[in-house]
Structure 1
Amino acid sequence: MQIWGRVLGAIFGFFLLNFFGLLIGFLLGLAFDRAVNNSKNPFGTFSRNSRVNKERQEQFFQLSFSIMGHVAKAKGRVTSDEIRVASYIMKQMALDNTSTLKAQKAFKEGTMNGFAFRESVLQVKQLCQGRISLLKFFMEIQIQAAFADGTLHNEERSLLFKLAELLGFSQKILEQWLKMQEAAIRFQSQNYQYDNSSFSQNTYSSKSKETDAFRILGIDSSASNSEIKKAYKKLMIEHHPDKLSAKGLPPEMIELAKQKTQEIQSAYETLKKIRKI
């Protein structure tokens, strides 16, 4: 514990103003010592804030999977596809056994009758505290889960619109994100082998890949080269792992952010070749 502020303050105060100075020096030194101790003490301000941030990250992690489970059950039952994709996401995160069990438990809770969907979504919004890029990333996770079997069912679509509304996103924005996800699935079709899916790699032409590259960047095929660059930079900033981590993304989900940036990068590289940017 830091005490030298009080000691030195009292000594110098005594030499300057005798006993009255000793008292003033002691009090000033006490304030100094408390400031130093708080910066070092494991129960001080910095550590307390770190502990709160960690708790928020854990809540974000659990809510992401519980709401994912609820979205998966929107059409009436959880199929093997939804479970497979949830397991795939967990695997991509490289979760340890403890974190995997937590994710599985949260996913299962979301599929149960009586799950507090609205309250859970509002809790996510509160945790993000207006950090739009983090909320957007959360939505992308839920959209990915909804496309587990390659098809977005009406019940899933309705729930996603409700989810977006609660988080403060418009229907127009969600529609764009849905198109971006559809394009991403086709674009990366070699990584998504869905049975009976319309996203077959065999029928995926070069022109379709170009169109989907534009959609992944959230722009129209008539966009100029400067608009392509602008859209690419914007998405890369929003999904940069370090920036999302600084905004509160749990460390277990950083790998997903890296994969998203790779997806954006791949789409941009495709357009660079076509446009010769």
Structure 2
Amino acid sequence: MIWAGKLTGAAVGLLTGGPVGAFIGGVAGHLFDRALGRALYGQLEAPAPRSGGTSRSGIQLIFFQATFRTMGRLAKVDGRVSEAEIAAATHVMDQMQLQGAQRQSAIECFNQGKQADFDLSDDLQALKQAIAQHSSLAQMFLEIQLSVAYADGKLSAAERKLFDRLCRALGVSAFQFEWIHSRVRAAMSSAGRQSGQRSAGQSLNKAYEILGVSKDVDDAALKQAYRRLMSQNHPDKLVAKGLPEEMLRLAKEKTQQIQDAYDHVRKARGQK
């Protein structure tokens, strides 16, 4: 069963009530592939790392563990884990169709993360080393965690403090995080409109935020921002990083939303 690829789409579809899955689910729903599930349970021998780095399945395993443990920490960081958060974690696993050892692995990671004495340092250090030059993976990790943090509709001070720590550990600057944060908020708001037409339901302000530019940006800078975002998610570049084939589908999902936002802005500006 290809369960791992359902991780983020299921998590976000649950944790945010569904609509935001149009963005975050698309952003990371295909992040993990069969190699991860097999590596987790010894069904597939991991390929040898290239140039002394972490193997592909190794990166996926590290990402999986860090993702669920950090989710657990986010659920606990405000104090007691609420019944809604417990139900959320359970539903994520249901959506992923996790059973047996697979489900137990996810539960253990989540429960470890919510323990007061559990230190995320090792996971974050391993994740930083594993994704090394792949800044797109750090961005995706933060996008996934933001989707969890916004389960209650807001980002608390304690959650913000944890995100500051995550950013420091992964080498993500405050400016970069605010850019990611604003785009996630914009995409969640846009998806939450549940309009029958994707672009029509996307407010102009949110479209600008998704593109990471202000409304008064000139046409040349707008096009430059659009091209930069599209380039960051180009399938060929993802392949060059040694990522799973499922990442190609991820890139298409992510670039589609960027394209929608760009088309919406251009239409509003009277451009053909």
Q: TM-score, normalised by structure 1?
A: 0.65
**Contact conserved, 2:56 with 2:243, CA < 8 A, in 1?**
no
2:221 matched residue in structure 1: 227
Which one of the candidate residues 62, 65, 68 is aligned to 2:68? 65
Question: Which amino acid in the other structure matches residue 126 of structure 1?
Answer: Q
Give, in whole Å, the separation in 2 of the partners of 1:241 and 1:49. 21
Question: Which amino acid in the other structure matches residue 220 of structure 2?
Answer: S
1:180 matched residue in structure 2: 183
Which one of the candidate residues 136, 139, 147 is aligned to 1:136? 139
Give, in whole Å, the separation in 2 of the partners of 1:112 and 1:145. 17
2:29 matched residue in structure 1: none
1:112 matched residue in structure 2: 115
Question: Structure 1 residues 47, 174: CA separation in 2 closer, same or farther (over 3 Å shift)?
Answer: closer
2:49 matched residue in structure 1: 49
Encode CA deviations 1:17-50: one digit per residue, 9 max, x unaligned: xxxxxxxxxxxxxxxxxxxxxxxxxxxxx95338
Give, in whole Å, the separation in 1 of the partners of 2:267 and 2:94. 33
Superposition RMSD on alpha carbons, in Å? 3.4
| Pair 1:122-2:116 in alignment | no
SS of equivalent residue, structure 1 residue 71:
helix
Which one of the candidate residues 159, 163, 170 is aligned to 2:162? 159
Name the structure, 1 or 2, with higher relative contact order (CA <8 Å, separation 6+).
2
Question: Which amino acid in the other structure matches residue 159 of structure 1?
Answer: L
Give, in whole Å, the separation in 2 of the partners of 1:112 and 1:182. 28
Question: Structure 1 residues 165, 172: CA separation in 2 closer, same or farther (over 3 Å shift)?
Answer: same
Give, in whole Å, the separation in 2 of the partners of 1:100 and 1:259. 27
Radius of gyration: which is bigger?
1
Give, in whole Å, the separation in 1 of the partners of 2:94 and 2:242. 21
After TM superposition, the structure 1 stretch with the greater mean CA deviation from structure 2, 237-246 or 112-121, is: 237-246
Encode CA deviations 1:60-99: one digit per residue, 9 max, x unaligned: 122122112212222113335545665676688x666465
Question: Which amino acid in the other structure matches residue 273 of structure 1?
Answer: K
2:258 matched residue in structure 1: 264
Q: How many residues align?
A: 218
SS of equivalent residue, structure 2 residue 203:
helix
1:77 matched residue in structure 2: 80
Unaligned runs of 5+ in 2: 1-45
Q: Give the Å deviation of 1:130.
A: 2.6
Unaligned runs of 5+ in 1: 1-45, 192-200
Question: Which amino acid in the other structure matches residue 225 of structure 1?
Answer: D
**Contact conserved, 2:211 with 2:261, CA < 8 A, in 1?**
yes
**Contact conserved, 2:65 with 2:109, CA < 8 A, in 1?**
yes
Question: Which amino acid in the other structure matches residue 262 of structure 2?
Answer: Y
**Contact conserved, 2:69 with 2:112, CA < 8 A, in 1?**
yes
Give, in whole Å, the separation in 2 of the partners of 1:220 and 1:161. 24
Q: TM-score, normalised by structure 2?
A: 0.66
